[in-house]
Amino acid sequence: MRLKLTVFILLVSASVKADAFIDSLFLKGNANYQEEQYAEAIASYTQILDSNYVSFELFFNLGNSYYQFGKIPSSILYYEKALLIDKQNKACLNNLELAKNRIDKIEPIPKLFYVNWWNYFSSLLRFNGWSILLVLSVWLLCFLIFLFIKNRKKWIFNSIITSLTFCLIFIFAMLSSNEKEKEKPTIVMTNSEIYSSPALKTKIGLVKAGNKALIKEVVANSKNKEVAFIYLEDGQTAYISTSELSFIK
């Protein structure tokens, strides 16, 4: 019993020390930022990041520091990371837009309103959440079918149609959510050539630093180097070296 208590006290003490260390680095980074010492602020915030501590404030502060330091692709990367934690934060959204205005950005393909609506709807829950709703709706459908066999009333039939409709909606939402969870959004960190094949021989264009891309697949080419098959915001697909990319999540 005494050994367990000692271990518990040591763990609590280590946790308190770690929190105090992180707090001190935050204060140091914030002070550096206020004094316009952006390289020092980045160094302090990066130390926190290296300790596996993650928060909206940390990513947001890093984004601001990189922006002021003139490293716009890195600022975009950390604003995007921050928005994964707080999607609706207005300050971060505004700063991200300011940063994007400083790069030669790819114009995204305009999406029809119902596509935007569906993307918003399917993102309300994760894959597991839609799966639970689907299972519940299937059980309800089975129960209604049983009732209809026993008592063929119109309201029961209408309920079956409604329940079936919800089942289909939940299936498509589940599949859509699963695809989104598999996506690997990245930021192109340097002006990079893009190619038509994994061999990286035939150039088809240039992507400027700071643009966003979705990785569809990572493969090894004939030189045993990792190559990403990416989807750009203008709808173009291409191959690019993974060394040119930084993952948002």
pLDDT at 246 over 60: yes
- pLDDT band for 138, please (50, 70, 90 cuts): very high
In a domain, 89, yes or no: yes
Query: Among 213, 208, 214, which Cα is nearest to 192's?
Result: 208
Name the nearest CA neighbour of 85 among 112, 61, 110. 61
pLDDT, mean of residues 138-160: 92
- If one counts the domains in the chain, the total is 3
**pLDDT confidence band for 8 (50 / 70 / 90):** very low
CA 150 to chain centroid, in Å, comes to 49
Here the tokens at position 125 are 């829950």
The region, left, alpha or beta by phi > 0 then psi within -120 to 50, assigned to residue 104 is: beta
φ and ψ at 235, to 5 degrees?
95, -5
Kindly state whether residues 93 and 32 are assigned to the same domain: yes
- Does 192 lie in the same domain as 159? no
pTM for the structure as a whole: 0.77
Find the domain containing 63 and state its range: 2-100
Same domain, 22 and 79: yes
Higher pLDDT, 199 or 66: 66
The last residue of a domain, from among 100, 128, 153: 100
Least confident range from 72-81, 134-143, 161-170, 172-181: namely: 172-181
Burial pattern 171-183, b for ≥16 Cβ within 10 A else e, equals eebbebbeeeeee
Is residue 105, in this structure, part of any structural domain at all? no
Q: Is residue 216 a contact partner of residue 237, using CB atoms and an 8 Å limit?
A: yes
